[in-house]
Amino acid sequence: MPLYPGGLKVGLGMWNSLPLTLLVEYGLFLFGVILYGRATRSKDGWNYALWSLVLFLGVMYAASLFAPPPPSVGVLALSASALWLTIPWAAWGDREREVAPQQ
């Protein structure tokens, strides 16, 4: 990745390999979900808000890589605006969790 236009390129070059990119990015996502899951616990059993959000984010990332491009700028704008709904969705999922006791 260039530090500035036409400048020195630094990094691992993961964008040259789709499998490596998917492995690293989904791995980091999974690692974050595991850390959050271990640091918190559900207040009332199964937390549908959290796990549906995790599933949605995983599917949307895959769709952003493999789905065809949007048919128009209007559809792109609408889908980008709809992603703001993930913020209250995440807040809903977090409200149903509490800090887990330290082990």
64 Cβ partners below 8 Å, 6+ apart?
none
Q: Is residue 4 part of a domain?
A: no
Total domains in the fold of the chain: 1
Domain that holds residue 55: 14-99
pLDDT of residue 15: 77
Q: Is residue 9 part of a domain?
A: no
Q: Is residue 18 part of a domain?
A: yes
Q: Is residue 61 part of a domain?
A: yes
b or e along 12-42 (b: 16 or more beta carbons within 10 Å of the residue's beta carbon)?
eeeeeeeeeeeeeeeeeeeeebeeebeebeb
Torsions phi, psi for 4 (to 5 deg): -155, 160
Q: Is residue 5 part of a domain?
A: no
- In order along its 103 residues, the chain shows pLDDT tens digits of 778 898 888 888 887 888 998 999 999 999 999 999 999 999 988 889 999 999 999 999 998 888 898 899 999 999 889 889 999 999 999 999 999 888 6
Q: Is residue 51 part of a domain?
A: yes
Question: Residue 51 in contact with residue 30, Cβ under 8 Å?
Answer: no
Q: Is residue 48 part of a domain?
A: yes
Which amino acid, one-letter code, is at 76?
Answer: L
